[in-house]
Structure 1
Amino acid sequence: MYIDTPVSFIFFLVILSSGNSQTLSEMKQLYIDIFANHQKSLIPNSDFSSPLEVQLQFHLMTITQFREVEETLQIAGGMSAFWTDGEFSWTTSSYGNAEYVIVPQTTVWTPKLVLLNSVGTVKPMGLGNELSVTIDYNGSMAVSFGEVLSSKCSTNIYKFPFDSQTCELEFAAWGVYARDIRLKGVSEPIDLSFFTPNSDWELISNILTSHPSTGYSIFMIELTLKRSPLYYTVIVICPFILFSILNPLVFLLPVEAGERIGLSLTVLLSYTIFLSMVQTSIPAASNPMSLLLIIMVATILLSGIIAVVTIYISSLYYREESAKMNFLLKFIGQKWHRGNKITQVMPLCNDAEKDNMNCKTEICITWKDVCEGLDNIMMVIAYSATVILICAYFITISL
Structure 2
Amino acid sequence: MKVTAWCTAKWKDELLVWDKIQYGGSGKFYVHAEDEFDVWTPYIIVMNTIGDFVKLGNADFPMVVKSSGEVTMETGVSLSTHCDADITYYPFDTQSCDIVIGTVVYTQSQVNMTIEEILTENYRENGEWELVNLAGSRHEITLDEETETLLTLTLTLKRLRPFFLINLVVPLMLLSALNVVVFALPVESGERISLSITTLLTYAVFLSVIGDSLPNTSRSSPIVGVYVLSTFVLSVLAVCLSVLLLNLHGRQGETVPVCLQRAFRCRLCACLTSGYRGWNGKENANDPRGDCSYRKTGPAPEVVSVEKTEVVNGEEFPIEVHKGSRRIERGMVGVDVKKTAPGKLEPDVDWHTVARALDRIFFWSFLTVCMLVCLVVTTLWVSH
Normalised by the size of structure 1, how large is the TM-score?
Answer: 0.73
Q: Given residue 394 of structure 1, which amino acid in structure 2 is its aligned partner?
A: T
Q: Given residue 237 of structure 2, which amino acid in structure 1 is its aligned partner?
A: I
Q: Following the alignment from structure 1 to structure 2, what is the Cα–Cα distance between the partners of residues 235 and 340?
A: 46
CA deviations on 1:212-258 (whole Å, 9 max, x unpaired) are: 23443111111122222333332322221121012211111111222
The 5 Å alignment of 1:118-137 reads 118-127=49-58, 129-137=59-67
| Among 360, 368, 382, the residue aligned to 1:384 | 368
- Residue 306 of structure 1: how far off its partner (Å): 1.7
Q: Name structure 1 gaps, 5 residues minimum.
A: 1-72
Aligned residue for 1:315?
Answer: 247
Secondary structure, aligned partner of 1:252: coil
Q: Following the alignment from structure 2 to structure 1, what is the Cα–Cα distance between the partners of residues 7 and 60?
A: 15
Q: Does 1:301 pair with 2:237?
A: no
- Residue 273 of structure 1: how far off its partner (Å): 1.0
Identity %: 25
Q: Greater RCO between the two (CA within 8 Å, min separation 6)?
A: 1
Q: Does 1:146 pair with 2:146?
A: no
CA deviations on 1:128-162 (whole Å, 9 max, x unpaired) are: x2332223343332211212111111222111112
Q: Does 1:328 pair with 2:266?
A: no
Aligned residue for 2:223?
Answer: 291
| Among 193, 207, 212, the residue aligned to 1:275 | 207
> Could you tell me whether the CA contact under 8 Å between 2:256 and 2:349 is conserved in 1?
no
> Could you tell me whether the CA contact under 8 Å between 1:124 and 1:174 is conserved in 2?
no
CA deviations on 1:310-351 (whole Å, 9 max, x unpaired) are: 222222222235333422233353242234668989642987
> Could you tell me whether the CA contact under 8 Å between 1:333 and 1:371 is conserved in 2?
no
Q: Does 1:232 pair with 2:164?
A: yes
| Among 124, 136, 158, the residue aligned to 1:208 | 136
- Residue 174 of structure 1: how far off its partner (Å): 3.0
- Residue 393 of structure 1: how far off its partner (Å): 1.4
In terms of fraction of residues, the more helix-rich structure is 1
- Residue 104 of structure 1: how far off its partner (Å): 3.0
Aligned residue for 2:273?
Answer: 337
Aligned residue for 1:362?
Answer: 346
> Could you tell me whether the CA contact under 8 Å between 2:193 and 2:242 is conserved in 1?
yes
Q: Number of residues paired by the alignment?
A: 320
**Greater CA drift, 275-284 or 87-96:** 87-96
Q: Given residue 256 of structure 2, which amino acid in structure 1 is its aligned partner?
A: A
The 5 Å alignment of 1:7-46 reads none
Secondary structure, aligned partner of 2:113: strand
Aligned residue for 2:107?
Answer: 177
Q: Following the alignment from structure 1 to structure 2, what is the Cα–Cα distance between the partners of residues 294 and 281?
A: 15
Q: Name structure 2 gaps, 5 residues minimum.
A: 278-288, 295-299, 303-321, 328-341
- Residue 114 of structure 1: how far off its partner (Å): 0.7
Q: CA RMSD in A?
A: 2.7
Normalised by the size of structure 2, how large is the TM-score?
Answer: 0.75
Q: Following the alignment from structure 1 to structure 2, what is the Cα–Cα distance between the partners of residues 338 and 86?
A: 97
> Could you tell me whether the CA contact under 8 Å between 2:269 and 2:275 is conserved in 1?
no
> Could you tell me whether the CA contact under 8 Å between 1:334 and 1:365 is conserved in 2?
no
Q: Following the alignment from structure 1 to structure 2, what is the Cα–Cα distance between the partners of residues 313 and 183?
A: 73
Q: Does 1:114 pair with 2:49?
A: no
